[in-house]
Structure formats: structure tokens, C-alpha cells
Amino acid sequence: MPRWQPNTQERLVQAALELYTEQGYERTTVGEIADRVGVTSRTYFRHFPDKREVLFASGVAIREAIVAATSEALGSRPAYEAVLVGVTAGREVFQSREFAKTREAVIATSEELRERELVKIASISTALKTLLVDSGCDEATARMTADAGVAVFVEATRRWQDGDDAPFAELVGQAAQLLRETAATQAALVT
């Protein structure tokens, strides 16, 4: 094995994404990922518990960025506006657009990975709901506000991945407007 090199975790993520793209998630082994980086499988497992988690390495950082920015904004804004500030801050953790699109394409090929992506998204909503309840929102309002914020985040992220070069805050604003319009249209249909 070669001598230690920096950024092992990032290199493992990149190698996994390349291999998953080349030969598929199901057919790729942890050993192959480790070999591509020039480390042992044991080193791989120091960074990730299994082969799927390598694609979700930034999930905790994204959730923490969103919650931290929301928490800071809660002092001066209503809950929903604070959540929109928070989800805008989540963009700061993203990899490149090319990486994000490739990752999304790999996730789309596997039910296991799609389920894990939903768990990641749900963890953001849960963390936001907890923050909002702790700041004084009632449970139902906190849950709806958190879920709405996450829906906006997912839509803004899709727009960014699809090549929209507007600032992410603008994409969040567009997605929030779409959510308002959709809710108003659906409410009008019900009444």
C-alpha cells in the first residue's frame, strides 16, 4: 500500500461514485472502492459503516447547516421565514453540480439508496421540527413548517442540479412561491 495521503474520506466518496456509475451500485464492493483509492477495506470502514453511506457523507453537515442557520434566524423572523433562511444555508455544503447530478443518477438506480435518501431528508425535517418546538411553536405548526421547508429545499436543489444558475436563495424563493401557489390552487379546488 502507498503511504498515507490526505483527504481519504473525500477520495473514497469520489471513487465510490465513479465505480457505482461504471458498474452499478449492486455490483460494486467496498474492496473495489478501497482499492481504487489505494487503501484497505479496514480504512474504508473507519470512514463509513457500509457501502451506501459513502453517498450520504454530507447529509449530517447539510442538516447541521440548515438547523444552525434556522436557529440563528429564529431570533428575528417568523418560523417559516427562518426555515427558508436555513434551507438556503444548506447549499453551502453541496458538492459540485456534476457530483450532485451523478450522485442523484446513482441513487435513482437502487431502491435501497432511494430509501436512504428519504431517511436523510426526513432527518432534516425532524431536526427542524424539534428546533421549532423548542423555540415555542406548537407541534403541528412545527411539523408542517419543517416539512414545507424541506419540500422547498428539495425543489430548489433539483432546480440547481438541473442547471439553473440563479443564486440558491433565489431558487429557494421560487420553490417557496410554487409551494404557496400549489397550496392555494388545491385549497380553491376543495372549497
Handedness of CA 190, 81, 168, 10 (dihedral sign): negative
For residue 191, pLDDT beyond 70: no
Among 18-27, 52-61, 172-181, the minimum mean pLDDT is found in 52-61
Tell me which residue has cell 457500509.
Answer: 50
Split at pLDDT 50, 70, 90, the class of 1 is very low
Cell numbers linked to 162: 438541473
Is the pLDDT confidence value at 131 over 60? yes
- pLDDT band per the 50, 70, 90 thresholds, residue 17: very high
What count of other Cβ atoms lies within 10 Å of the Cβ of residue 150? 23
pTM: 0.88
Mean pLDDT of the residues in the chain = 93
**What is the pLDDT averaged over residues 9-35?**
96
Q: What is the DSSP letter of 77?
A: S
**Nearest of 105, 100, 10, 16 to residue 52 by alpha carbon:** 16
